[in-house]
Every structure is written in C-alpha cells, then in structure tokens.
C-alpha cells in the first residue's frame, strides 16, 4: 500500500470525524441516515451475493475486510451497551441502543441479559416503559408504533398479578406450547380454540382480568367473548374464527365468511355503544369506549396482511388479530413476565 494512500484516507476520515462531532444529535439522521453509512460499510466489504461462491471461500477472499467489520462490531458492543443494576429488581442487565426511534421526546432501547437483546424499552417524560407486541413483526417488514404497546413496570405487574395469569414460568410456557401445538397440528375446530382462550385469557396481552363466553347482549347479539379490562373493568368484545378458515377468494377480495365476521363485529360494537345504559343496569355489563378484537387467519402472505390492515383502518375500533399476531403478543407478554420475576 502506498504511503500517500494511507495519508489521504487518514485526512479524509479525520475531517469526517470532526464534522460528525460538531453537529447536534438531532442532525445525525439527516447527515448520515440516507445510506452513506451503508455505502461506507460496503466499501470495506461487499455482502456475499455470488450464489456460486462458497461461504468459506467468500470469507477467505475477504479475510481482512471482514475482520475489520468484526472489530468495528466488537467496539460497538463493548462501548455502547451499558451494564447496570436495574432499580426495583436488583438484577443486572445490558441497556443497548436501538435502531428504531419513533418518538421525538423519548428514546427507545433494548434491555436484557445480553448486549443488543431483550425487551424493547421507551424512556419518555422521565418514565421507563417496556413494549408488548400487538403485531407479528416479520423480518424485513416495515413496522410502526401501532405494532407495540408500552407499559411501565408497575402497570405490567398489576396486569400479571391478575388471577387469569399463571404465576409460574412453567405454566406460562406450557400454555404457549399448547397454542403452538394446536397450530402445528392444524386444528380446525373453533370450539377447541374457544375453550383454550377461556383457560388462558392472558394471551391477549394480559390486559383482561377474565373473558366471559357467550354472554348475551340481547337475543340477537351474542359475541364469542366479552373481556373485562384490567385498567378500568370495562369490557371489550372478542370474536374468534379458526386459524385455517380461508379469508380471501382473491388477492384483494375477502370471502363471505370474513365479511360476515367483520359485519358482526361492527354490529356488536354499535349495539354496546347505543345500549350501554341498558347493558349496565339490566345485564351488569359495563362498556366504555369498547373495542373489538377479530381473531382470524394464520401464516398469511404480505399482500393479504396489507389488505387486512387496509380493512382495519375503515373502523379503528376493530383490531384484526391473526394467530401470528396473537402468538407474538403472548410471547412478548411472557418475556416481560420473566423479566419481572428475575
């Protein structure tokens, strides 16, 4: 390597470093977030794209370039993941930066036993909160704030201390295994899932103290479940369909079964809104700003999920949960509970 090449690179990197140091934190996304960092990393070593080249041949051909990237990664892990004793639990954990930042006045981070792993956290207005998934977040998928719901530790402890939530990790894991087994076996019977949710209402994010099956609102309106919220004891509605019920007859056309379920959800919501006084006085059912979860579909395509979200936007009071979404919600709830118990 020519000495002049080394000097030129040193000068350029030194100038770039001074520029980066001089700008405010808020200007960094505009300065470096447009792909220039990606271009820099690719200049050090292009990702493997040649399918005919063996993995180890690629490593050998880029031995020192990839070593440099590995050293950069090691420096990031060593210097920017902060080990701390977490207040309230006394447990040690790493608090790591997160590549997702959605909030202007807050910062998102990762907190767990290992660097760059663990619960997704949010520090905002002096409060630390952690996320429970509301959606199945697939690799490479662009997700937004609607995919997560944040709770402080006290609120989640209040949720998880409800009688509906198993108090042992083994019981939580067993319930998760049972649901996953039903899906692996392609169980199609709606009644089997109905019975499962009666026993394990916590899988809906531990947000309900209990769910009641087939409580008649009147002779014509009998939802699968009405669920009592932890936060205010008001009820939501949950309608379920078996996971393997086909929802689409074409790419953007719903089958009649899905349209019927959607219309039924709207009917239930309309009834409980307009008859809230009657339901409270005569039925002992308290509804206040109710929402409806419509649980249907499993292992859908990206195009189908996109169409479900479009449909969902037509009525914000209805949340369409796929069984993938439900699994993600339950898994993140279990992870939160495990973290609280350490």
Alpha carbon distance 197, 202 (integer Å): 8
Query: What is the model's pLDDT at position 147?
Result: 83
DSSP E strand stretches across 125-182: 127-133, 148-152
Whole-number average pLDDT of the chain: 90
* pLDDT for residue 140 is more than 60: no
> For the CA atoms of 183, 186, 188, 192, what is the dihedral angle to 10 degrees?
-40
Alpha carbon distance 318, 321 (integer Å): 9
Backbone angles phi, psi at 183, to 5 degrees: -75, -40
- Structure token pair of residue 277: 């006084």
pLDDT digits (tens, 9 = 90+) for 163-202: 878 878 898 999 999 999 999 999 999 999 999 999 999 9
Q: Give which of 318, 234, 341 is closest to 279, Cα–Cα.
A: 234
pLDDT digits (tens, 9 = 90+) for 240-259: 999 999 999 877 799 999 99
Q: Give which of 178, 175, 170 is closest to 202, Cα–Cα.
A: 175
| pTM of structure | 0.80
Alpha carbon distance 44, 114 (integer Å): 27
Banded model confidence at residue 276, pLDDT cuts 50, 70, 90? very high
Q: What domains can be seen in the chain, in order of their start residue? A: 3-77 (no CATH), 82-159 (no CATH), 165-331 (3.40.91)
- Structure token pair of residue 335: 């992870």
Residue 135 CA from chain centroid, whole number:
5
Alpha carbon distance 186, 93 (integer Å): 39
pLDDT digits (tens, 9 = 90+) for 162-173: 787 887 889 899
> For the CA atoms of 140, 83, 168, 336, what is the dihedral angle to 10 degrees?
-40
pLDDT digits (tens, 9 = 90+) for 287-340: 999 999 999 999 999 899 999 999 999 999 999 999 999 999 999 888 888 877
Q: Check if the beta carbon of residue 193 is closer than 8 Å to that of residue 242.
A: yes
- Residue 38 CB coordination number (10 Å): 11
Q: Give which of 120, 328, 335 is closest to 204, Cα–Cα.
A: 328
Q: How far apart are the first and last CA of the chain?
A: 53
Among 152-156, 227-231, 325-329, the least confident range: 152-156
Average pLDDT rounded to a whole number, residues 99-113: 93
Q: Give which of 247, 233, 234 is closest to 294, Cα–Cα.
A: 247
Residue 129 CA from chain centroid, whole number:
14
DSSP three-state, residue 272: helix
């Amino acid at each position: 390597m020519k000495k002049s090449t080394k000097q030129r690179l040193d000068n350029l990197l030194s100038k770039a470093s001074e520029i980066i140091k001089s700008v405010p934190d808020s200007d960094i996304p505009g300065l470096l977030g447009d792909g220039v960092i990606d271009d820099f990393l690719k200049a050090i070593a292009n990702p493997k794209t040649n399918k005919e080249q063996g993995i180890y041949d690629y490593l050998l051909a880029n031995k020192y370039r990839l070593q440099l990237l590995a050293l950069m990664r090691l420096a990031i892990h060593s210097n920017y993941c902060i080990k701390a004793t977490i207040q309230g639990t006394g447990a040690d954990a790493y608090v790591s930066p997160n590549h997702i930042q959605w909030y202007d006045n807050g910062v998102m981070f990762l907190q767990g036993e290992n660097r760059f792993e663990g619960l997704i956290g949010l520090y905002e207005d002096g409060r630390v909160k952690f996320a429970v998934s509301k959606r199945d977040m697939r690799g490479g998928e662009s997700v937004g704030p609607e995919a997560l719901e944040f709770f402080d530790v006290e609120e989640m402890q209040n949720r998880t201390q409800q009688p509906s939530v198993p108090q042992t990790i083994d019981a939580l894991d067993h319930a998760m295994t049972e649901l996953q087994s039903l899906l692996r076996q392609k169980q199609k019977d709606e009644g089997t899932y109905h019975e499962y949710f009666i026993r394990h209402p916590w899988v809906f994010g531990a947000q309900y103290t209990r769910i009641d099956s087939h409580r008649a609102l009147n002779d014509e309106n009998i939802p699968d479940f009405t669920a009592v919220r932890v936060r205010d004891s008001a009820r939501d509605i949950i309608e379920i369909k078996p996971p393997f019920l086909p929802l689409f007859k074409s790419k953007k056309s719903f089958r009649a079964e899905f349209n019927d379920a959607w219309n039924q959800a709207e009917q239930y919501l309309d009834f409980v809104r307009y008859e809230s006084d009657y339901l409270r006085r005569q039925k002992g059912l308290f509804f206040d700003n109710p929402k409806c979860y419509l649980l249907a579909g499993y292992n859908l395509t990206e195009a189908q999920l996109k169409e479900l979200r479009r449909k969902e936007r037509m009525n914000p009071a209805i949340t369409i949960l796929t069984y993938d979404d439900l699994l993600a919600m339950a898994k993140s709830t279990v992870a939160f509970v495990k973290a609280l118990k350490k």
